[in-house]
Structure 1
Amino acid sequence: MTPDFDLSGRVAVVTGASSGIGRAIASAFAELGARVVGVARRSEALEAWSAETEGETASIAGDVSGAVAAQAICSRLSEPFGAPDILVNAAGLNTRQVADDVTTEGWNATMDVNLATPFFLAQGLVGAMKERGWGRIINIASLQSERAFPGGVAYGASKGGIVQLTRAMAEAWSSHGINANALAPGFFPTELTAAVFGDADRAARNAAQTCIGRNGELQDLIGPAVFLASPASNYVTGQVLFVDGGFTAK
């Protein structure tokens, strides 16, 4: 009755693999036996990730912001190792514009990266997953999927949308063996949260808000991500797993 967490033989695509959460997940998947295609805009950072990671990796540099870009890159994602089994949508954008200052450019850019890209990448890859009768989609939600934070109108709306998108993906595709779930991280040190961790008092307040009493470390996300990517989660779909140290419980 031991759960199967093995990723050997799987092909995973991870967006945002050049840094932060995407990089941590992409590296872990490769080290656990998956062949991983990392996708990001910054080619040098992406190549550095690939060179520093144990296991089989490939990097595809390109802008996947929005429906058109996501659709255009889909055919390239199968070139290194064949059709992907696993998609992790970790690329993200947070303009941090307060409500009165939100621009149409900032709003549209946020929705493109955080909401349109995950859907259209998934739509482009599920065909091969259906043929095999197995697939995994992991989206990245947020504390702001549940909570309103200052300067988070567009970001919060996009991450609230990710929760419903994840459920809709599950409804559409899980009968074909393709499970769709989301991870909702708490406060982790990444490029997107540099301003938060750069303020020691603010970081300490966030840590105190958790039940565990500390902010997250990227390693804390590996176990949940592997669970959702592996056969261990065969009967889990349409769910959002908060990896936040109990921040949302208080």
Structure 2
Amino acid sequence: MLTGASGTLGDLFCRSYYTDYDIVAVCHTRTPAAPSQLEWFVDPLEPEKPVPENDSRLFVIRADLTQPGEVERVVDLALARYGGVDLLVNNAAHVQLQPRGIVDGEAALEQFDPHFTLNVAVPLRLCARLGQRAWMHAGPENRARNRNIVNVSSISGSEVYPGQTLYSASKAALNQLTRNIAAEFAEFGVRANAIAPTTFPALVPTEQVARAIIELDQSNTLTGGVFGVGINAELADA
């Protein structure tokens, strides 16, 4: 399950890996530019000929995860379609810079709830819902299927950048949330890690960020870490 599926990273992830993963692509308004159940392809020269794109493993769900009941609806739809979720990628994020910083007072605080709702509360609620509905009592299966969570954080969670006070604070909270989820979910065999990339694609290729998600998914042991991408990896995990 991938949130923020139509953003820069989410869209590339869907286009790159929809043949390797059964992806539940959660998006708000736009949809990822990859074949999904929302489209049907026909070869105009051979209308009866099967088209590979129609075998897409991408299942798109439109949702505003900040609204009541949407997290529950999305998780329940994913479980109904696939019977389980092996990898949760919390990628959706709210980013609104404050050029004048916190001296803007109330103007800056208007962005507090949007940042912490989407960047912290939504990942927490998705993890909790999956834990309750699918993972809590399935320890042996979780370990056999290497189930895990990858939260997409940012170098801003450990470094100071002008105008990013609320965004940075929310990503720092996500980093600590990741560590605590890893500790709690270890009881039933679900790992949790975060990646903390620098700006992509400007400073690090988006493909490299997507590969970092895959590498954490394929690891059998890593949990509780916050790993830099395109920066000193130890910096984000300090």
Taking structure 1 as the reference length, the TM-score comes to 0.75
Please give the alpha-carbon distance, in whole angstroms, between the structure 1 residues aligned to 2:16 and 2:34: 12
1:112 aligns to what? 117
Q: Match of 1:241, as an amino acid?
A: F
| Equivalent-residue separation in structure 2 for 1:23 and 1:126 (angstroms) | 26
Q: In structure 1, the residue corresponding to 2:227 is in which secondary structure? A: strand
Superposition CA RMSD, Å: 2.3
- Residue 99 of structure 1 is matched in structure 2 by 102
Q: What does residue range 3-82 of structure 1 map to in structure 2 within 5 Å?
A: 13-31=1-19, 33-42=20-29, 45-46=30-31, 48-51=33-36, 55-65=56-66, 69-82=70-83
Structure 2 stretches of 5 or more lacking a match? Answer: 40-52
Q: Distance in 2 between matches of 1:100 and 1:218?
A: 33
Q: Cα deviation per residue 1:25-50 (whole Å; 9 max; x = unaligned)?
A: 3333423x2100100101xx316434
Shift of 1:21: 1.3
Structure 2 SS opposite 1:84 = coil
Amino acid at match of 1:118: P
Corresponding position: 1:162 with 2:171 = no
The answer to whether the Cα contact below 8 Å between 1:143 and 1:248 also exists between their aligned partners in 2 is no
> In the aligned structure 2, how far is the partner of 1:63 from the partner of 1:216?
28
Partner of 2:150: helix, strand, or coil? strand
Compute the TM-score of the two structures, normalised by the length of structure 2: 0.79
Contact 1:167 1:239 in 2 (8 A): yes
For residues 24 and 47 of structure 1, the distance between their equivalents in structure 2, rounded to whole angstroms, comes to 8
Match of 1:61, as an amino acid? R
Q: Which residue identity is paired with 1:150?
A: P
Q: Is the 1:67–1:112 Cα contact (8 Å) retained in structure 2?
A: no
Q: Are the aligned partners of 1:66 and 1:117 in contact in 2 as well (CA < 8 Å)?
A: no
TM-aligned CA deviation for residue 156 of structure 1 = 0.5
- How is 1:180-199 mapped onto 2 (pairs within 5 angstroms)? 180-189=192-201
Structure with greater proportional helix content: 1
Counterpart in the other structure of 1:129: 135
Deviates more, 1:18-27 or 1:46-55: 46-55
Partners of 1:168 and 1:110 lie apart in 2 by 20
Q: Is the 8 A contact 1:85 1:129 kept in 2?
A: no
1:153 is aligned to 2:165: yes
For residue 202 of structure 1, what is the aligned residue in structure 2?
A: none
The 1:167–1:179 alpha-carbon spacing in structure 2 relative to 1, beyond 3 Å, is same
| Residues 25 and 221 in structure 1, CA contact (< 8 A), matched pair in contact too | no
Task: For 1:78 and 1:27, locate their aligned partners in 2 and report how far apart those are by CA, in whole Å.
Answer: 23
Seq. identity, %: 26
Count matched residues.
208
The structure number with the bigger radius of gyration is 2
Q: Cα deviation per residue 1:166-223 (whole Å; 9 max; x = unaligned)?
A: 000001002311000001111103xxxxxxx6xxxxxxxxxxxxxxxxx211111232
Structure of greater relative contact order (alpha carbons < 8 Å, 6+ residues apart): 1
1:181, 1:239 within 8 Å by CA — same for their partners in 2?
yes
In the alignment, structure 1 residue 139 sits paired with structure 2 residue 151: yes
